Chain A
């Protein structure tokens, strides 16, 4: 009886770990953290851990939206341009009208509108998401460059709250990803919309045949991605204190990488908000650790690539092969069985 209970316990752990693919990237974070702690005494300090959390805020918030998109087997590479356009336009209008609230309104509503355009074009014109968002990437960035005349717009102090503000002493770049992450996870796991996202990602045709509102859901995920990109842009502009034409360039790849590292399947049907946030932390941790140990600037890319390969290997090895065979829990269970048999 005890053996059976023990076996069920192991099996339940195994099942939950199979589902929670973010465990792999968490292991990566842990191993990398151990390595950097060994190399630099400054790594495992409250201040530095706070730095890592704050520096991963932008990628983390944007990765939440990206997770929804990728889970439907879509992609949005215009998020960096949305972040740039909304913050560039917002910063310029704040200076013109001396009202910081404009920055937040534009950061939220314009970003959602830009996401809506992506969703409409993809779903009504039936253009591939990659091509559509590649095109809108250029359009949005071009409009942003036009808005700030390819220059640098200093962000009004009042509009920097998301980047450098605090609530009860807690920095906003720490609060926002947690808040957005919780909301995203609740939507994904506990709402009908979340279940639709999952179902569409698994099989769009089956979802359609089942009468799910496929088109509406697919449009909405791009609106969510746009919203998160806008919020990311607000944090970015607030932190840096200025908006320049290179802002958000290539950040889409970092965001996609964070999502995928966190267990989101590029072919849709599987994803984790928590995993995406941990993926963002892992990516920031690499640069942070290399900074702290004063590594040669020429090895950053190499280390980044190696850590990413390592994280993917951990993911593949642990969650796919080891866990599907049940190792080591099935081995332990077998040992229990043989010991029990020999005793009897």
Chain B
């Protein structure tokens, strides 16, 4: 029996090692940042600055009011610089992530860089989109008596018990990416201005309006995700008075395959769809396949082209916009927004008070005409990605 046990365990071990060895080297971010061995140098911290306005951009991103925040007395958009930050001692901060994907990796790049600069040790956990797992991980951070917790919540309601427990234990909780508007136990929130990002896309589509009756396919993210909800609301706001435009909504639940099915089905029922709103550009390959199947895949200015606007700024979105089959891309300032969360955490631990409780950072809209010139401002343009030719037409799909 022992031999069988050993054999099975050996196979599992060998396969795990082989798989791990086969895989490309991981980025160093989702693990623990290096521990500072001495007091950190008083290096000036980058204050959150909005990305510069793009050159030749027809629709500059306009920051809008952040989501209503009960219990959060002050909300400002990016541009209010936080005071220069230095850590009074080597703090240990727990980082509770909802899941790991390209955008979160980009944010973690900002968190890790800023933590290293300030001599902060990070303990990172990933809830894999499971609210209960995240609660357990938050409790673990509380038990470990970390100095502060940086949080991207899986579920804004389910996390309340954990944020209250941290608050009761005297551990400040700082959120980034997703703002939790109604949570009184969060001491600082650094978030994306999803409302403004959606509005940028809505204004871009509105600017293309020729007064003819048109249909717009609006893809939605997860219906319980505040960012997805705000992007949708922001997109629809500039279009609500344009009565010639009809919006068809389709939920993707942040699932690329669902997005492909939605596009395919929507074009089957409405072959004359004029524009698409894509709430996250990680699904660009799926959209491309769907448009190709519907015989509507064409570059901007070509017959049959479908106007599209996407949000995020990841490599697929950047490539699609450079290739000009995607018209506009709202690029999110992920690194800046994540750095602001670390700065705020250190300030609070130092006994200082950040000038605001909520700071939101709007993205910047680039079009297919100016995106290449602004590649250095786009996080996805820096990431490695092997381009692939357009898919061949497939019946149905």
B135 at the interface (CB under 8 A from A): no
- B385 with A152: CB separation less than 8 A: yes
A300 at the interface (CB under 8 A from B): yes
Write out the residue numbers on chain B whose beta carbons fall within 8 Å of the beta carbon of A148: 24
| Cα separation A138 to B133 with both chains bound (whole Å) | 12
Residue A240 contacts which of B11, B286, B314, B315 (CB distance < 8 angstroms)? Answer: B286
A180 at the interface (CB under 8 A from B): no
- A143 with B16: CB separation less than 8 A: yes
Known: A113-B15, A143-B19, A143-B20. A42 touches B383 (CB 8 A): no
| Cα separation A51 to B108 with both chains bound (whole Å) | 39
Closest to B215 in A: A294
- B392 with A246: CB separation less than 8 A: no
B220 at the interface (CB under 8 A from A): yes
Write out the residue numbers on chain B whose beta carbons fall within 8 Å of the beta carbon of A296: 249
- B269 with A292: CB separation less than 8 A: yes
| Cα separation A255 to B128 with both chains bound (whole Å) | 20
- A51 with B268: CB separation less than 8 A: yes
A147 at the interface (CB under 8 A from B): yes
- B387 with A154: CB separation less than 8 A: yes
A297 at the interface (CB under 8 A from B): yes
A32 at the interface (CB under 8 A from B): no
Write out the residue numbers on chain A whose beta carbons fall within 8 Å of the beta carbon of B385: 152, 154
Write out the residue numbers on chain A whose beta carbons fall within 8 Å of the beta carbon of B52: none
- The 8 A CB mask of B251-267 against A (1 = contact, 0 = none) is 10011111011101110
- Whole-angstrom distance between the Cβ of A172 and the nearest chain B Cβ: 9
Known: A54-B396, A171-B396, A294-B248. A93 touches B101 (CB 8 A): no
Closest to A296 in B: B249
A67 at the interface (CB under 8 A from B): no
Known: A154-B388, A297-B249. A139 touches B16 (CB 8 A): yes
- Whole-angstrom distance between the Cβ of B314 and the nearest chain A Cβ: 7
- Whole-angstrom distance between the Cβ of A120 and the nearest chain B Cβ: 5
- The 8 A CB mask of B283-322 against A (1 = contact, 0 = none) is 0111011000000000000000000000000111000000
- A154 with B386: CB separation less than 8 A: yes
Known: A51-B265, A54-B397, A291-B266. A247 touches B22 (CB 8 A): no
- A149 with B26: CB separation less than 8 A: yes
A125 at the interface (CB under 8 A from B): yes
Known: A166-B395, A242-B316, A244-B102. A297 touches B15 (CB 8 A): no
- The 8 A CB mask of A272-294 against B (1 = contact, 0 = none) is 00000000000010011001111
Residue A169 contacts which of B16, B383, B395 (CB distance < 8 angstroms)? Answer: B395
- B100 with A145: CB separation less than 8 A: yes
B23 at the interface (CB under 8 A from A): yes
Residue B23 contacts which of A138, A146, A157 (CB distance < 8 angstroms)? Answer: A146
Size of A's binding interface in residues, CB under 8 A:
69
| Cα separation A242 to B317 with both chains bound (whole Å) | 12
- Whole-angstrom distance between the Cβ of B133 and the nearest chain A Cβ: 10
Size of B's binding interface in residues, CB under 8 A:
64
Write out the residue numbers on chain B whose beta carbons fall within 8 Å of the beta carbon of A288: 261, 265
Known: A121-B12, A149-B24, A150-B101. A241 touches B4 (CB 8 A): no
| Cα separation A291 to B261 with both chains bound (whole Å) | 9
Within A95-137, which residues are at the interface with B (CB < 8 Å)? Answer: 95-96, 113-114, 117, 120-121, 124-125
- A47 with B23: CB separation less than 8 A: no
A50 at the interface (CB under 8 A from B): yes
- Whole-angstrom distance between the Cβ of A59 and the nearest chain B Cβ: 10
A257 at the interface (CB under 8 A from B): no
Write out the residue numbers on chain A whose beta carbons fall within 8 Å of the beta carbon of B26: 146, 149
Write out the residue numbers on chain A whose beta carbons fall within 8 Å of the beta carbon of B128: 138, 141
- A152 with B396: CB separation less than 8 A: no
- Whole-angstrom distance between the Cβ of A173 and the nearest chain B Cβ: 8
Known: A150-B100, A298-B223. A160 touches B16 (CB 8 A): no
- Whole-angstrom distance between the Cβ of B331 and the nearest chain A Cβ: 16
| Cα separation A169 to B20 with both chains bound (whole Å) | 40
- The 8 A CB mask of A86-97 against B (1 = contact, 0 = none) is 000100110110
| Cα separation A141 to B285 with both chains bound (whole Å) | 21
Write out the residue numbers on chain A whose beta carbons fall within 8 Å of the beta carbon of B225: none
- B289 with A240: CB separation less than 8 A: yes
B105 at the interface (CB under 8 A from A): yes
Closest to A92 in B: B24
Write out the residue numbers on chain B whose beta carbons fall within 8 Å of the beta carbon of A124: 4-5, 7-8
Write out the residue numbers on chain B whose beta carbons fall within 8 Å of the beta carbon of A160: 391
Residue B383 contacts which of A55, A89, A151 (CB distance < 8 angstroms)? Answer: A151
| Cα separation A178 to B127 with both chains bound (whole Å) | 38
| Cα separation A240 to B289 with both chains bound (whole Å) | 7
- Whole-angstrom distance between the Cβ of A176 and the nearest chain B Cβ: 14
- A164 with B256: CB separation less than 8 A: no
- Whole-angstrom distance between the Cβ of A171 and the nearest chain B Cβ: 6
Residue A121 contacts which of B8, B22, B30, B254 (CB distance < 8 angstroms)? Answer: B8
- B265 with A291: CB separation less than 8 A: yes
A239 at the interface (CB under 8 A from B): yes
Closest to B19 in A: A143
- The 8 A CB mask of A19-54 against B (1 = contact, 0 = none) is 000000000000000000000101001011011011
| Cα separation A205 to B37 with both chains bound (whole Å) | 62
Write out the residue numbers on chain A whose beta carbons fall within 8 Å of the beta carbon of B255: 246, 249
Write out the residue numbers on chain A whose beta carbons fall within 8 Å of the beta carbon of B99: 245-246
- B23 with A244: CB separation less than 8 A: no
Known: A50-B395, A89-B23, A288-B265. A240 touches B15 (CB 8 A): no
5 contacts between A and B (CB under 8 A): A150-B101, A242-B282, A244-B101, A247-B257, A297-B250
Interface residues of A (CB under 8 A from B): 40, 42, 45, 47-48, 50-51, 53-55, 58, 85, 89, 92-93, 95-96, 113-114, 117, 120-121, 124-125, 138-139, 141, 143, 145-152, 154-157, 160, 163-166, 169, 171, 174, 236, 239-242, 244-247, 249, 284, 287-288, 291-294, 296-298, 300
| Known pairs A53-B396, A149-B24, A155-B388 / 19 extra A-B pairs, C-beta < 8 Å | A48-B265, A89-B23, A117-B12, A120-B8, A124-B7, A125-B5, A143-B23, A150-B27, A150-B105, A151-B383, A154-B388, A157-B391, A166-B394, A239-B286, A240-B289, A244-B101, A292-B265, A297-B223, A300-B251
CB-CB nearest 7 A-B residue pairs:
A241-B285, A291-B265, A147-B23, A242-B285, A50-B396, A150-B100, A297-B251
Interface residues of B (CB under 8 A from A): 4-5, 7-8, 11-12, 15-16, 19-20, 22-24, 26-27, 30, 99-102, 104-105, 128-129, 220, 223, 248-251, 254-258, 260-262, 264-266, 268-269, 282, 284-286, 288-289, 314-316, 383, 385-389, 391-392, 394-397
